Structure 1
């Protein structure tokens, strides 16, 4: 009967999806971020997305560049774009 706890633990790990999570990084060009308060607003909106691990903001010609590190099992790029758009700053992936 000692095998039963091992089987239960293994089943829990594989069913949670956490065992397959990978870290991803995406760079977003965030439009309309032209003032000194825009960067912190964008960073805050992205940081609130579940699964976001880190956000770095830099400024570039009337826009902000957001480099976002996230767990792909908990969020995705469309959710990040939605977060900035809902905060008033539409974004797109930098290729």
Structure 2
């Protein structure tokens, strides 16, 4: 329970910090947003479902993300794997 709360708080703080510093010339904000989302996807099933639905809605973007996945660091690769609509465990109903 405590670990889940810490992960939830950490993910939210990373996403918010990333969104705040995104306008800076260095793309550190985007990295923080992706890192925060990767933490939140493991904690919030509703977020995983929403991201999976988004990728279902835009299959061209999902395909590009799938092709980019092997070149990304582990945390970003896990985020993409958890939200891949073609992954066997990620089929949203309907």
Please classify the TM superposition score into its range, dividing by the shorter chain length: under 0.3
Bigger fraction of residues in strand: 1
TM-score by length of 2: 0.25
Larger RCO, structures 1/2 (Cα 8 Å, 6+ apart): 1
Largest Rg, 1 or 2: 1
